Structure 1
Amino acid sequence: MKFISPYIFQAYLTCPREAWLEYHGIVSDQDHEFLALGRLVHEGSYQRVRKEIFVDQLLKIDLFRDEMVAEVKKSSRHKEAARLQLAYYLYYLKHEKGLEFEGVLLFPKERKTERVTLTPEIEEKITQLIEEMLYIFSQETPPPVKKSKYCRTCSFQEVCWG
């Protein structure tokens, strides 16, 4: 099975058009204020225990916490997408490396955590999503612009709504 970057995987769950653009190398506004804020939260949180681990130049695991793969997020606004992104990490580690872990989402600004377990149902959902994404990404043009509540904070805002 072909794997895609976890960032693109999560982006697809929020906006298939954004994911298509990223997959095809169209880079968003890297100076966008919300991207900068996300980087600050990421870099400033859990510094004493942070141990970023790169796996196969595809996954960037933020840290391990209590024998769990941990992912740091700026906010819980995209919690379902973040949950599936972390499950995607667990899926990859299981199917490509033979390693089984549980996961934990960390929302430092909100002082929240959430455990993520890779169940057979979630594995099936991830398999289906990967197939769906690869089909969408194989298309010559991106999915059409579709207004959502996330558009106003998106770093691709100018690309889509220019």
Structure 2
Amino acid sequence: MDFELEKFKTQGVKVNYYYICKRKLWLFSKGISMEDTSDRVMSGKIIHEDSYQRKKNKEMLIDNVLRLDIVDDEYIREVKISSRMPKADEMQLMYYLFYLKHLGIDKKGTINYVKEKRVDEIELTEEKEEEIKNTLINIKSIENQKNPPKLENLPYCRKCSYFTFCYVKEEE
């Protein structure tokens, strides 16, 4: 059975959020964005903008849905501040490679961890393609839920831009 990407295409950040927190993904998909109020996110954007300034193809938008950090001859390069969320970072880049492959463009990928001065090379495999397909199906399912997924108390919640939204208690 062929996978119909057109039915499931989404922003790369949603793939990233899927691997970090399903609740965050749902909130973001409903237009509830807390990133603008986060110092950590703002700091990340500044570092992102200041990194790799000599690269010509920075911030390339594909089909009004994918925002690729850097594109060069052989690689799609995803710029991240640190490697605290390696699975989410890897799968976001895998999604980009998967999407581009559906457009007839075969590339490899790298995740460039700026603070650590580290580069991880990524290649799309058949296994990862299947994982991406399942991820996209699950993302669509989460987005279609009437209510957000149940709150999970994860080790990194306190540093999340959605922390106060998720943990605020209403007065009784």
Matched-pair contact (CA < 8 Å) for 1:42–1:72: yes
Matched-pair contact (CA < 8 Å) for 1:50–1:62: no
Pick one of 148, 159, 165 that aligns with 1:153.
Answer: 159
In the TM superposition, 1:55-70 aligns within 5 A as 55-65=62-72, 67-70=74-77
TM-score by length of 2: 0.90
Offset at 1:79? Answer: 1.1
Unaligned 5+ runs, structure 1: none
Percent identical across equivalent pairs? 35
Q: How many residues align?
A: 161
Offset at 1:64? Answer: 2.1
Offset at 1:8? Answer: 1.1
What code does the residue aligned with 1:160 have? C
In the TM superposition, 1:6-155 aligns within 5 A as 6-51=12-57, 52-65=59-72, 67-95=74-102, 97-155=103-161
Larger radius of gyration: 2
Task: Say which SS state the counterpart of residue 42 (structure 1) adopts.
Answer: helix
TM-score by length of 1: 0.95
Distance 1:144 1:115 in 2: 34
Distance 2:26 2:66 in 1: 19
Task: Say which SS state the counterpart of residue 158 (structure 1) adopts.
Answer: helix
Q: Deviations over 1:54-90 (max 9, x none)?
A: 1011111111245200000010001111011000000
RMSD: 1.1
Unaligned 5+ runs, structure 2: none
Distance 2:91 2:61 in 1: 19
Offset at 1:27? Answer: 1.3
